[in-house]
Amino acid sequence: ALELAQELAEELWSAGLPGDLPELEPECRSLLAAFAEGSAALTGCLGRRARPVRLCQGCHGHYRRLLAQYGSIARAVGNSSESHNCAKSILTSDRLQIVVTLSEFFNETWEAANCANCLKNNSEGLSNSTEEFLDLFNKSLTCFEHNLQGQAIGLSPNNYTEVCKNCNETYTKLNDLYNHLQRMNRQGGESAHSAHLCIDVEDAMNITRKLWSRTFNCSLPCSDTVPVIAVSSFILFLPIVFYLSSFLHSKQKKRILILPKRIQSNANLVNIQEKYS
C-alpha cells in the first residue's frame, strides 16, 4: 500500500497539479535528502552509544555534519530566489515543520549531554583533558579485570583486597582528575548545563565509583584527614581553655579585692600603735 501511494504521488507530481503545489527544485530535494540521511545516521549513532554512554566521543562527527546540512538549507545557497524557496518550502511551509523540529531535538540532546565540554573548540575531536581522563578510565578498568582474574581459586567473591591494593593508585589519579575537571568547569561555566561535565565523562566516573565502592568494597584514603583531626582537636580543647581562663580570671579578681583589705588593716594597726605610743 505504501509503494502504491508513492507511485500515485509521483504520477500526480509528474502530471503537474494546478494551484500552489509545486514540486521541490532539484537542489532543494538534494538538500532535504542529505539532511534526512544525516538525521538517520545521527539517530543510529546515539542509539548504539546510549549504554554505556559514548555519545560525545562517538557521534560528534555525525552531529557536526548535520549542523552543516541544516545550515545549507537555512542560509543562502545558489541564487537568492532558489535559496529562499528551499528554506521556505522545507523549513516553514507546514505546521509540523519536521526539519526544524528534528534539528531542535538534536541540538537540545547535544546541549543536555554537555558534549561541548568534552570537545575541542571546533568540535573536531576530544579535548586533551578528556582524552587524559578516558585513558585513566581504561587503565582502571584494565587493572580491575587483571586483578580479578589473578585472584586465587576458592577466594571469597566478596574479598577484593588485591583489587583495592593494586588499583588504588590508578583509581586515585582518575578520581582526582575528575574532581579537578569539575572544579575547572564550574569556575568557567555560565549556564545551568555547563555546571556539569559531558555525559561520557560523568557516566564513566559513576561506573568506576560504583565498582570501587559497592562491588569491590574498597575505600579511598581521605587526603583531608590531618586538617580534620586538627580542627576536631581544637574544638575539643576549647572547653578546657575556657574553664582554665575563667579560673585564672576569677583568682586574679580575688587578689585585687583582698589587697585593699590588707592595706586597710595595716593602716589601722599603725594608727593604734601611734595612739598608744
Distances (CA, A) of 270 to 260, 266, 275, 276: 15, 6, 9, 10
- Considering the domain boundaries, does residue 268 fall inside one? no
- Tell me, yes or no, whether 147 and 102 share the same domain: no
Q: What is the pLDDT of residues 230-243, one digit of tens each?
A: 555 657 666 776 66
**Omega before 221 cis (within 30°)?**
no
Same-domain status, 194 and 152: yes
- pTM here is 0.67
266 belongs to a structural domain: no
Query: 244 vs 122, 240, 247, 250, 254, CA distance in Å?
Result: 66, 6, 5, 10, 16
CA-closest candidate to residue 198, choices 263, 116, 133, 142: 116
Predicted local distance difference test score (pLDDT) of residue 160: 87
Q: Assess if residue 58 is contained within a domain.
A: yes
Residue type, 150: G
Domain boundary among 215, 238, 259: 215
Amino acid occupying residue 182: Q
Backbone angle region of 218, left / alpha / beta, with phi > 0 → left and psi within -120 to 50 → alpha: beta
Q: Do 89 and 168 fall into the same domain?
A: no
Output the pLDDT for position 82.
Answer: 47
Are 139 and 211 members of one domain?
yes
- Phi first, then psi, for residue 54 (nearest 5°) are -135, 35
Asked if residue 80 belongs to a domain, the reply is yes
CA distance 198 to 113: 6
| Domain co-membership, 148 together with 97 | no
271 in a structural domain: no
- Say if residue 148 is in the same domain as residue 179: yes
Asked whether residue 248 is assigned to any structural domain, the reply reads no
Cβ neighbours of residue 42 under 8 Å, at least 6 residues apart? 59, 62, 63, 66, 106
Same domain, 158 and 109: no
Kindly report, residue by residue over 40-96, the tens digit of the pLDDT. 999 999 999 999 999 999 999 999 999 999 999 988 455 454 445 788 889 988 898
In a domain, 172, yes or no: yes
pLDDT tens for residues 27-36? 899 999 999 9
Number of domains forming the structure of the chain: 2
| Contact status, residue 109 vs residue 46, Cβ threshold 8 Å | yes
Alpha-carbon distance of 181 to 132, in angstroms, equals: 11
Q: Which residues of the chain fall short of a pLDDT of 50?
A: 12-13, 18-21, 76, 79, 81-83, 153-154, 192, 223-226, 259, 263
What's the CA gap between 144 and 208, in Å, rounded? 10
Q: Which domain holds residue 167?
A: 128-215
Query: Is 33 contained in some domain?
Result: yes
How far apart (Å, rounded) are the C-alpha atoms in residues 34 and 73?
Answer: 10
